[in-house]
Amino acid sequence: MLDEWIEDSVMQSIAAENNLSETAFLVKRGECYDLRWFTPEVEVDLCGHATMGSAYVLFEFVEKHAQALRFNTQGGMLTVTQGDDALWMDFPSRPGGRVTNYPCLYNALGINRFETFRSADILVVLDSEDTIRNLSPDFELLKNARIEAGMDSDSFGVIVTAPGVDCDFVSRFFAPNAGISEDPVTGRAHCVLIPYWSKRLGKRSMTARQLSRRGGLIWCEDAGERVKIGGKAKLYLQGDILL
């Protein structure tokens, strides 16, 4: 939480020191908050779990009587609402278009049968949950996807997904160009995943699991040009940063 913005280089240094997927910075502006996110290496234009974490802190410690919060970001205006047992994020839908498989993905992911879609991130659709769970990517090779896909920013990621066993779909998210080998739970990825699986399954409301080491359960709703992403947050740490 900041009173005013500090230098970008300082925020980037804080994010590098934290060495987490994203560090969120907020400044209150009237009835909403300006919100920015930094990985250990770059600033990104959209981030889910750091938005949910920011909203959780505000609901618990700052805006204790609020039912909804609005965030002005590079990815547009985002809203987080308190539900009965979860926080719900209102995010843009980012459906991907089908593309020819990029050659680097075969070796980087160690697979030879998949479908590829491109949005703000690359979506790779595989056959089973076990395939997703057992992937062991070569992250140096995976960096080449940026060149082959002609992506104009290092903040993009590679999403892998498949039908779930005890949920509608599962996924993992890799962003080595942004300094994130694997993200634990990724709201941004579900902006691509939700429209894909909603169309494929013929369902608007779905449940999903992200199969990172930490793991995460995500409630999903396709709302046309927007997606609703539900999840829970917990307090992990309180402290001061000394500059």
- For the record, the structure tokens of 49 come out as 């779990």
CA neighbor of 221 nearest in space, from 212, 213, 229: 229
pLDDT, tens digit, 9 for 90 and up, residues 185-222 = 999 999 999 999 999 999 999 999 999 999 999 999 99
Q: What pTM was estimated for this model as a whole? A: 0.95
CA neighbor of 229 nearest in space, from 123, 95, 80: 80
Quickly tell me which residue has 């740490």 as its tokens: 237
Catalytic residue among 7, 17, 22, 221: 22
- pLDDT, position 202: 98
- pLDDT, position 243: 86
Q: How far apart are CA 217 and CA 209, in angstroms?
A: 5
Say whether 182 is catalytic. no
Q: How far apart are CA 90 and CA 126, in angstroms?
A: 27
Question: Exposed (0-12), middle (13-18) or buried (19+): which is 220, by Cβ within 10 Å?
Answer: buried
pLDDT, tens digit, 9 for 90 and up, residues 9-38 = 999 999 999 999 999 999 999 999 999 999
pLDDT, tens digit, 9 for 90 and up, residues 138-154 = 999 999 999 999 998 88
- pLDDT, position 77: 96
Structural domains in the chain, sorted by start = 8-83 (3.10.310.10), 97-229 (3.10.310.10)
